[in-house]
């Protein structure tokens, strides 16, 4: 199969093979968690300078305009990234649902990466071999109704730093997720029981830009709340990331430098969400930029 020339893609998988009861269960516990009294949720508060727990990530200054969103984030795999103190005991089956869901989504990511590799004429297992023990994190986003959706965003424009992102939109969600396509924001209409798949920055770099990460955002809604459950799947922090040799030749010059993935992750989470700006970290500086 001949691979794509250069594509920015986001797609929704329907035949993902994950049992509906698993999708329903994660949605249920996420909703229950966000509906708990603030006092209860605060037990799992995101500490300043960290990225796991309940609160708002990507807040870097006091005068920053905040997104209209509450987040709850957990590191899931490998074990050493877990903060067990932050795993809620209420709702009772929260942790169990996260475990079951994450195991299934992990398999889906591995499968999707296999097909992405094959679409580029590479061996199906290249990413799995390269990634080591892949890092997997879960973020639940809850967007309350917003009296002035014209003044604030649900989530600012960004691309994900991951290799792949799997996003589950809550049942009955209003349209909130949008992607930037040809300089216009296009809504991603929820398809019942489908999962939205995003290409993240890491796949853009590894494929030397053959697959481009998707710039996206979430808008707030005046009357309806909205829930999303997002899995980020990325290589192990130790590995070095850079365009794969098979995808670089005289017609396809190398567009990105090589760097340590842990370094990129750190750079990503310590910067504001600002379109695809964080990817500049990986871009090769041209002469005009360095002089
Ligand atoms: C994210 C994200 C969009 C949404 O969490 O990275 O893009 O619809 N979420 O919640
Ligand atoms: Ni995102």
Neighbours of ion ligand 2 (CB under 5 A): 160
Query: Quick one: pLDDT at residue 291?
Result: 43
Ligand 1 pocket residue status of 217, Cβ below 6 Å: no
CA of 288 to the centre of ligand 1 (A): 35
Query: Quick one: pLDDT at residue 290?
Result: 47
| Domain count across the chain | 1
pLDDT tens track for 200-256:
999 999 999 999 999 999 999 999 999 999 999 999 999 999 999 999 999 999 999
CA of 273 to the centre of ligand 2 (A): 9
Q: Identify which ligand lies nearest to the alpha carbon of 230.
A: 1
Give a yes or no: residue 2 inside a domain: no
Full pLDDT tens readout for the chain, 291 residues: 444 456 667 889 999 999 999 999 999 999 999 999 999 999 999 988 889 999 986 766 777 778 899 999 999 999 999 999 999 999 999 999 999 999 999 999 999 999 999 999 999 999 999 999 999 999 999 999 999 999 999 999 999 999 999 999 998 888 899 999 999 999 999 999 999 999 999 999 999 999 999 999 999 999 999 999 999 999 999 999 999 999 999 999 999 999 999 999 999 988 888 999 999 999 987 655 544
Q: What is the CATH number of the domain that holds 102?
A: 2.60.120.330
Give a yes or no: residue 27 inside a domain: yes
Give a yes or no: residue 87 inside a domain: yes
Q: How many CB atoms lie within 10 A of CB 291?
A: 6
Q: Is the pTM of this model over 0.75?
A: yes
Give a yes or no: residue 221 inside a domain: yes
CA-to-CA distance for 269 and 158, rounded, in angstroms? Answer: 12
Question: What separation in angstroms does the CA of 280 have from each of 26, 173, 212, 283?
Answer: 35, 33, 13, 5
Give a yes or no: residue 1 inside a domain: no
Q: Domain limits at 114?
A: 7-290
Query: Quick one: pLDDT at residue 50?
Result: 85
Residue from 143, 163, 144, 150 nearest 218 by CA: 143
Give a yes or no: residue 64 inside a domain: yes
Torsion of CA 39, 42, 44, 45, to 10 degrees: 180
Query: Quick one: pLDDT at residue 13?
Result: 92
CA of 290 to the centre of ligand 2 (A): 30
Give a yes or no: residue 282 inside a domain: yes
Give a yes or no: residue 236 inside a domain: yes
The helix/strand/coil state of 92 is: coil
Ligand 1 pocket residue status of 230, Cβ below 6 Å: yes
């Amino acid at each position: 199969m001949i691979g794509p020339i250069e594509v920015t893609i986001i797609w929704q998988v329907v035949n993902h093979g994950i049992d509906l009861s698993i999708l329903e269960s994660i949605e249920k516990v996420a909703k229950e968690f966000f509906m708990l009294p603030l006092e209860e949720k605060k037990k799992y508060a995101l500490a300043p300078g960290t990225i796991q727990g309940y609160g708002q990530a990507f807040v870097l200054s006091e005068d920053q305009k905040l997104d209209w969103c509450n987040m709850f984030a957990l590191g899931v795999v490998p074990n050493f990234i877990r903060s067990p103190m932050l795993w809620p005991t209420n709702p009772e089956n929260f942790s169990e649902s996260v475990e079951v869901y994450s195991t299934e989504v992990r398999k889906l990511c591995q499968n999707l990466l296999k097909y992405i590799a094959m679409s580029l004429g590479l061996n199906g297992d290249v990413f799995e071999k390269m990634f080591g023990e892949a890092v997997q994190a879960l973020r639940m986003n809850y967007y309350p109704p917003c009296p002035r959706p014209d003044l604030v965003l649900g989530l600012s424009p960004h691309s994900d730093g991951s290799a792949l992102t799997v996003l589950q939109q809550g049942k009955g969600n209003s349209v909130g997720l949008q992607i930037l396509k040809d300089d216009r924001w296009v809504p991603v209409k929820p398809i019942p029981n489908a999962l939205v798949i995003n290409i993240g920055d890491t796949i853009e770099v590894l494929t030397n830009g053959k697959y481009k990460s998707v710039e996206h955002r979430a808008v707030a809604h005046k009357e309806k709340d909205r829930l999303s459950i997002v899995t980020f799947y990325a290589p192990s922090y130790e590995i070095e990331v850079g365009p794969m040799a098979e995808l670089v030749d005289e017609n396809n010059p190398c567009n990105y430098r090589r760097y340590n993935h842990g370094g990129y992750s750190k750079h990503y989470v310590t910067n504001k969400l600002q379109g695809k700006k964080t990817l500049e970290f990986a871009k090769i500086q041209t002469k005009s930029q360095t002089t």
